[in-house]
Amino acid sequence: MADFIQEHGEAGCELSFLGSLSIARLGDLPERLGALAVPVDAIRLDRIEHIDTIGAWLVYRLSRDHGAEIKGADADAARLIEQVSASDKPVRMRPDRTPPHIRVLGEIGDATAVAGHTLLGLLGFFGATMIAAWNVIRHPSRFRINAVVQRFEVVGVSALGIIGLMSFLIGIVIAQQGAVQLRQFGMETFTINLVGRITLRELGVLMTAIMVAGRSGSAFAAQLGTMKLTEEVDAMRTIGVSPQEALVLPRVIATVALMPLLGFYASIVTIFGGMVWCWIDLGIPPITFIQRIREVVPLTDLYVGLVKAPVFGAIIAMAGCFQGMQVKANAEEVGLRTTSAVVQAIFLVIVLDAFFAVFFTSIGWI
């Protein structure tokens, strides 16, 4: 059992613990220490056999209450006492309220820091993908054609239905709203100009990018995130297979290659939807609509869309793969990273679209 002895000297009362200061051997030691009538100036631990957290707390509390110095503690005992002393802090049931403006500024700062960190991580991921692509170019036998073809089907062929339906409806909406506004000025025929130019130049590729981000970008993040949780990615590294080459690169190549095709397909379907509405509402025959489109829409509008499409595809694929590879803790994080992948991809696509608009206007492609 744990015990103690008191020794009185010129320096004051010194208390030495004996035995094992563990919860199973303390007995009535806490009550006897609490009944001490003489102040303790020093506590010696060089004669104890063992000490646990409860014993360390007992020694620390005695030292705190009497202002005594602890002597003779070995490394383990000193570490335990230091840890229990660090936890001896007042606990607030209700923390102090932070002023609203301070809280808002703090949240803005945290969001800015997270955004900056994510952007740096995405740039680093882009660099790793470029290195993987260069390694595949140097060693063509490492190129996984089957994985790329499978991504072609997932990203492109399977998406034709939903992209075609959405594009057709968007074309009808653009034609209907444009006709309503232009009818006020007696210029209904300019609806054809509106549908043709805005579709080939902006909306066709932009809406396709948003749909691909929501469909394929989220799938990439969820797939790679699940593989991270099940340690498949770590297993690939263990056997000498690069996850960037085997998982990321096929998805990036497939998305970059298919985005121009999907964007062109979406633009044609959107124009077709606008043509159907103009035929029904404005009485413009399809042959007249097509002839007018050929007259008013320059080829530069088509070039603008086709130039932007692969860049948007690369952004979408890398955002999805990057967020998927960041999954670490649990299944809940897969959902959070999937959401982040879609939001990040759409945000970057819109930002890049704005830069493209300024750039092409500055070089005269208007």
pLDDT value, residue 289? 92
Q: Are 45 and 70 in contact (CB under 8 A)?
A: yes
Are the C-beta atoms of residues 284 and 187 closer than 8 Å to each other? no
Quote helix, strand, coil % in the chain, to nearest 5.
Answer: 75, 5, 20
Instruction: Give start-end residues of each CATH 3.30.750.24 domain in the chain.
Output: 3-86
- Return the pLDDT at 311: 95
CA 104 from centroid of its chain's CA atoms: 22
Q: Is the CB of residue 43 less than 8 Å from the CB of residue 61?
A: no
Q: What is the pLDDT of residue 8?
A: 75
Which amino acid is residue 237, in one-letter code?
Answer: R
- The predicted structure's pLDDT at residue 93: 65
104 to 98, 99, 158: CA distances (angstroms): 10, 9, 44
pLDDT tens string, the chain, 366 residues long: the values are 677 777 776 667 888 888 888 888 878 878 887 777 778 888 888 888 888 888 888 888 888 888 888 888 888 888 888 888 888 777 666 766 778 888 889 899 998 998 899 889 999 999 999 999 999 999 888 888 998 998 998 898 899 999 999 999 999 999 999 999 988 888 888 999 999 999 998 899 999 999 999 999 999 999 999 998 888 998 998 998 889 999 999 999 999 999 999 999 999 999 999 999 999 988 889 999 999 999 988 888 899 999 999 999 999 999 999 999 998 878 888 888 999 999 999 999 999 999 998 998 888 877
- Eight-class DSSP state of 190: G
- Cβ-Cβ contacts under 8 Å for 64 (sequence gap 6 or more): 85, 88
What does DSSP assign to residue 224? H
pLDDT for 183 equals 87
Looking at residue 339, what is its pLDDT? Answer: 92
Beta-strand relationship, 3-9 and 12-21: antiparallel
Distance CA 107, CA 98 (A): 12
Q: Tell which CATH classification among 3.30.70.260, 3.40.50.2300, 3.40.228.10, 3.30.750.24 matches the domain 3-86.
A: 3.30.750.24
| Short-list 223, 206, 224, 166, CA closest to 313 | 206
* Chain centroid to CA 60: 45
Confidence (pTM): 0.72
